[in-house]
Amino acid sequence: MKQALEIKELNQRFGIPEIVKIVAGHGGLTRVEVTSRSAQGEMYLHGAHVTSWKPSNAEEVLFVSSQSHWNDSRPIRGGVPVCFPWFSSKSDDVNAPMHGFARTTAWQLESIVQTGDAVTVSMFIESNEATKKWWPADFRAVHRATFGPELILELEVVNTGKTSFQFEEALHSYFQVGNIETVLVKGLNGVDYIDKIDEKRTKTQNGEIAIVSETDRVYLNTAAAVDVQDPALHRQITIAKENSVSTVVWNPWIQKAKAMPDFGDTEWPQMICIETCNIGDSFVELTPGQRHQMKAIVRVSKL
């Protein structure tokens, strides 16, 4: 009953008739649904997590696992998790949540704005006792997702405190592909990367990336757009970015997929992660009052 009243109030404040509605989604988690002439999309308040973007006359672009745990204590597996304020495990606390606390935090709706055929959904979190259990900083973070002919994702962080702080961030985007074994990833030729599968050795990319085994790479000092060429679905997904100097390419392959309880054993051929991020030595530092905005722009074209 309480959630039904909250959803009713959110619809009264933010809903747009026949275009935007707020509903109880998977697992009863609150979800914003967008249906416009240019695209359909979904975004959960849990983690400010985008789980669907389907441009008009196109197939779903994002991958979400059929085995995802839909509850407020676990991250959603797939879509676009927000990794903040650290990436992977926290270096000084093995008990801290993987990829930070943002993706399992209840965000609040800030605004929903229609501009032409596109709709921008903004959600925010602010520092509180729960966040300071893991990270002492005073901050405000906003995730804006614009659903239209392009999917535009903006993560903005503001230092609201009196001391400087450092953080890592990632838009951990999972993309749907027809067959990972025929996919080619272009745009990173000549870029150095850390190969997390091979004892974190630093290597240099030579040509296109073909996924032939478990892949977990952090590409360094690159602002380049990445093209995912997918002949099985006859399309190309292009991920451009702003204020990001790291790119992660990830696919769990066979054994890792079987080891993940929230990922289907046979789903690995249908996904690839191309992550827009600032991680490792490319962390962001903000002085009091300073803000930083990282952006990913996703486009789909026929191949």
**Catalytic positions:** 172, 275
Torsion, Cα of 188, 194, 198, 200 (10° steps): 180
Round to whole Å and give the CA distance between 10 and 45.
11
Omega before 81 cis (within 30°)? Answer: no
Helical ranges in 95-224 per DSSP H: 129-132
The alpha carbon dihedral of 92, 77, 35, 295 has a sign of positive
C-alpha distances in angstroms, 38 versus 49, 116, 166, 303?
A: 20, 9, 38, 20
Q: By C-alpha distance, which of 90, 124, 79 is closest to 105?
A: 124
Task: Read off φ and ψ for residue 213, nearest 5 degrees.
Answer: -165, 180
Burial class (CB in 10 A: 0-12, 13-18, 19+), 258: middle
C-beta neighbour count of 190 within 10 angstroms = 10
Task: Read off φ and ψ for residue 274, nearest 5 degrees.
Answer: -120, 110
